[in-house]
Amino acid sequence: MKVLITDGVDPQCGQILAQNGFEVTEKPKISKEELKEIIGEFDKLIVRSATKVTAEIIEYGKNLKLIGRAGAGVDNIDIDAATRKGIIVMNTPGGNTISAAEHACAMMLSAARRIPQATADLKEGNWNKKKFTGVELEGKTLSIIGLGKIGREVATRMQSFRMKTIAYDPMIPDEYAAHLNIELLPLHENFKRADFITIHSSLNESTRNLISKDTFDLMKEGVIIVNCARGGIINEQDLADAITSGKVAAAALDVFEAEPVNPDNPLLKLDQVIATPHIAASTNEAQEKVALQIAEQIVEWKQKGKLEGAVNASAVELAQSPGVQSYLTLAEKLGATLAQLAPAHVNKMTVRTSGEFLHKYNEVITAAALKGLLEIRQSGDTNYINAFTKAKECGLSLEQRFEKENTDYTNLISLELENGTEKRMIGGTVFGDKEVRIVMIDRFLVEFKPEGNIIIYNNIDKPGIIAQVTQLLLLHNLNVAYIALSRDEEKSIAMTAIVVDGDVTPVLLEEIRNVNGVSCADLVSL
């Protein structure tokens, strides 16, 4: 049982493993090339965030059985590649929550009072009291984007400064937020009302470039922005432009789209930006907690077969089952699509499977659907292991139904989301072994691949609407990759799904909604 530990994980991790019979090798600053050379000797690998466990590294790890992440984020590990090889990926969620929250608060205070700039100026021999006039936090409105564990801890601390806390998190019920003295608002209302904005969301296709030129235009003059979550959520060039124009007074960043950050990054040239090198979780306490936690989880796995913190255990178990992987992909895509179509603050999800083949996989299909849903709607990592727990935590009740047959499809997965007054439904299947398709949305039989950027709109069934919409796409220099159509002849209502090459801006989406005859339009990014 040979374990390789990289990235300077706290020494207690290796000590605990050695005491329990593991042969431990520690390589704190291993290069990619050296890792490729030696990884084949080990059956377990423990990393922090620096080591990139790519598909290539996993391919070289011919004896690997487990990859442990001393920390919560697993975006430096190719989980799909590990799953295909039957390798367990394990993390330690929660171990660095307090450290990350405290760092975000410290960054907010530092940006508001310009502490780093004043310190640097003072050390140069200056005494410029007037130059570094800051702003108070008391009475200001703080917007928290993502109310996961870290976001909630930040809210509690900043309320002590008598800040008014508002938030955006489509999976958190209003009652729960109210209990925390937080007002839940739509995303655009958060941007309009906030004096300070702090990001605590995971990075995925729906949050990439979440804050960009269009959203900066909604914000107050002089807003202060903090990001200690993930790089890529804020468009860095647009942020630099917003700071230069005066729209954004200051930004405090612990994360960047590319890390280590390029010295030529325009943000580093701005005096209004304070930055740290992704150290939000870098405290003695947090590093000790996650090191102890990952070691204890591995020992538990060895002694009792318990997979605490495993992010892909169910998927690994099913990896050898022919045909199942495509249905898990389908379920995730259905969940992610419906997350972007359904109303906010849903409280019930129904998962239906039909077809004899899917019957014994109903539980893991539900987990996959939840994973797709929650990764879009909630901050933090969601996996097959924690999906049910996270659904319960955010007040989402579940109903699972199985039908032996479906008259139209051999195997079908359908999902429903509702909030008590409104309901949305989506269904999909797999053609052949791997051709994943969405085949219905609500009452419309509309078929398309769940990939890329998809504009979905409803309209009165009359001539000319598609022409108007495609003309708008042309004006925005967007190419149409695929169009799917369906209609309800009795009610004279149609649905169209248009897959486009390129990004769809909020401005374009609003223009489509304003086309005469269009009743609603949504963007789905997968």
Q: Which amino acid is at 132?
A: F
Given the residues 103, 200, 230, 345, the one annotated as active site: 230
Question: For tokens 């990439």, what's the residue?
Answer: 208
For 507, counting Cβ atoms within 10 Å of its Cβ (0-12 exposed, 13-18 middle, 19+ buried), the class is exposed
Backbone phi, psi, residue 397, to 5°:
-85, 150
DSSP H helices, 73-140, are: 79-84, 97-113, 115-123
3-state helix vs strand vs coil in the chain, percent to 5: 35, 25, 40
Residue 207 neighbours by CB under 8 Å, 6+ apart: 201, 230, 233
103 is catalytic: no
Dihedral of the alpha carbons of 72, 78, 84, 89, in degrees to the nearest 10? -20
**What number of CA atoms fall less than 13 Å from residue 404's CA on the CB side?**
0
Given the residues 69, 114, 278, 345, the one annotated as active site: 278
Backbone phi, psi, residue 474, to 5°:
-60, -45
User: What is the per-residue DSSP string for 181-196?
Assistant: T-EE--HHHHHHH-SE
Strand bridging mode 23-27 / 2-6: parallel
Given the residues 34, 41, 175, 259, the one annotated as active site: 259
278 is catalytic: yes
Query: Using an 8 Å Cβ cutoff, are 194 and 219 in contact?
Result: yes
Q: How far is residue 71's CA from residue 441's CA, in Å, rounded to a whole number? A: 38
Question: Beta-carbon neighbour count of residue 306 at 10 Å?
Answer: 12
Q: How far is residue 373's CA from residue 415's CA, in Å, rounded to a whole number? A: 10
Strand, helix or coil at 241? Answer: helix
Catalytic residues: 230, 259, 278
